[in-house]
Structure 1
């Protein structure tokens, strides 16, 4: 049956990674003035920097402004870490962590405020340290509003619990003051949370589909660094630790195939059209580090699309390769199904929770001549190619035959010009088409065949 499928509500986005070198713990917010505002940890740990641009990619080349420097003595004098920028009740606030000049590990959360419309040019007032009931190592404060209440979430050590950091939550009476007794909502207990150090830190909240999702980072800040996920119902009492459930495995980890290591300390923003959620995070391009990872300056800011599973939960996928970000190819006439590879055979399938199996980069065609090729995300160097008219994902052997078999002319969608169709380079008139949920290159003449050969980029 032919199913009319309107263009996807979350069309594909295209960015180039990595975005910004030597900037860790990145935080990006899209403001109502049309600008994206970016801040992050500088590897010298001595200042707070900020950029703005009207596009996410534009942040890569935007001028960077130092809006605040560490104190020369006392509090806020060392380890300036993980700034976040938030717009609250008509003012800008920066939350950050800092140590003391006489005790660089006396890390605590602090707040800056400006009334300027442009925070890059504003005068910042120090609102001081966020007073917490426990006066212990604490960092990575973030804030969000749920059901009309503003909350602060952060990471902190509690000696009664043990070493390392746990995640805490408290309502706020103003942007620099918590009220009531904090709730401890997560303690590192799984093996993936306790490699090198016992760590839950870097909370980041996104609210969708009747739930509150809190991503967080775990383990030491080397290649073992990874992202876990807490989930609470939007109708629950967020201050009740029992409202929160934790994934038993990490949701975002190092990937040797894509050469991305230690992904974490993420934030969330939205695409320029507001229709796609964007995952912002840092990682490194190599696994092995000499000495303390905190002394390695090469964590860099990266961005990629955050997808959503059919059950309404976020799918982080894998840290994608450097270069252009990938797409998913969504069937025009079976809108719940995507092109994916399974044991390297290309097929059409719904509920592809192994997200990277259904992500492909559209790259310059291996055959040239105005063509494109579709490169696997989780197997870089492997491409969709036809063999006996069947579509497979295979590693390029460099031959002319492979280059031709893996090259296509990208056409306006045969069933919807807003979509895309892919005509074989070396078999004119044959298109990438699904039949019985497998992918082929086949001639296209009927309305059903045109629909079968049409895909939305998502």
Structure 2
């Protein structure tokens, strides 16, 4: 799929990007390089997001929980409300731990998430209190699910696995989570053993969950889980994992470490992959202080067997 009408980078310096179409309107959010706030953009067209003004809907706490490392916000419409899922550590104080990353939820019950009032619903409590992030939600067959990445303290040498649970409400799990995937394959364990950044796509009688694996440099890539739409999604045996990455670095195109993707559609209903990547291979300095994982958008297609065909990252627009 090379007929991309959208310039890339689509939005600069916004990693972990998400574009959501709701009705006839598009919304965008992503990680801000300062890791200190959550921003939204809205536009009547997909292309309009590029120049749309950003609205800050929430800022980090000056102390305690939700005080640092504000990562990977996602905007979702659940029922009659808007919800933003995000990860945060504690403020950098004598007692704060910036790496005590946990998942949190904001709620807006107004019609427009850009102008409405946002309130904190608190932390998403999981059975194990450990490093957790990248929460995403999706509805299927009348049930609302949450998928996220979390560290299993009993799994030596691993950073994060993927978990799935049904939701009682947008900020509360219902029942015990199931582990869907852990980083075990060679391409999932380069520099770091990581499965993170899940995002769901329900199509053609299948439920797909993409995720990102390995470290955040050129080794970063996208994997794929799939289950039959009628299967019990909370049974790990219902899911199969692609043995190879489904999207990764293309040195010839000059795009490195694509990942943390989302999905949307354009005004014509064409499927689009939303992701971040860098336009160079070697990172100088601390990757956390590097703002060059820009948001990119490109179309994708479908194979005869019903699985998505993401192709390769397209070169940057001249």
Bucket of the pairwise TM-score, normalised by the shorter protein: over 0.9
Partner of 2:259: 264
> Which of 271, 275, 292 is matched with 1:281 structurally?
275
> Which of 225, 234, 237 is matched with 2:232 structurally?
237
- Coordinate RMSD, CA, aligned: 1.2
Does 1:14 pair with 2:5? yes
Distance 2:214 2:295 in 1: 19
Name stretches of at least 5 consecutive residues in structure 2 with no aligned partner: none
Secondary structure class of the residue paired with 2:187: helix
Query: What is the 5 A alignment of 1:89-108?
Result: 89-101=79-91, 102-108=96-102
The CA deviation string for residues 157-191 of structure 1, in whole angstroms up to 9 with x for no partner, is 01112230000000001011011110001000011
Ranked by relative contact order (alpha carbons within 8 Å, sequence separation 6 or more), the top structure is 2
Secondary structure class of the residue paired with 1:59: helix
Distance 2:207 2:317 in 1: 31
Partner of 1:28: 19
Query: What is the 5 A alignment of 1:311-330?
Result: 311-323=305-317
Secondary structure class of the residue paired with 2:298: strand
CA shift, 1:13, in A, is 5.7
The CA deviation string for residues 234-272 of structure 1, in whole angstroms up to 9 with x for no partner, is 111111111111111101101111110110000001111
Does 1:37 pair with 2:27? yes
Name stretches of at least 5 consecutive residues in structure 1 with no aligned partner: 1-9, 325-458
CA shift, 1:291, in A, is 2.4
Distance 1:57 1:319 in 2: 19
Normalising by structure 2, what TM-score?
A: 0.96
Partner of 1:414: none
The CA deviation string for residues 127-179 of structure 1, in whole angstroms up to 9 with x for no partner, is 00001111000000000011111000000001112230000000001011011
Secondary structure class of the residue paired with 1:116: coil
* 1:92–1:115 contact (8 Å) kept in structure 2: yes
Partner of 1:175: 170
Secondary structure class of the residue paired with 1:103: coil
Distance 1:196 1:54 in 2: 41
Distance 2:45 2:217 in 1: 30
Normalising by structure 1, what TM-score?
A: 0.67
4+ runs of 1 displaced by more than 2 Å? Answer: none
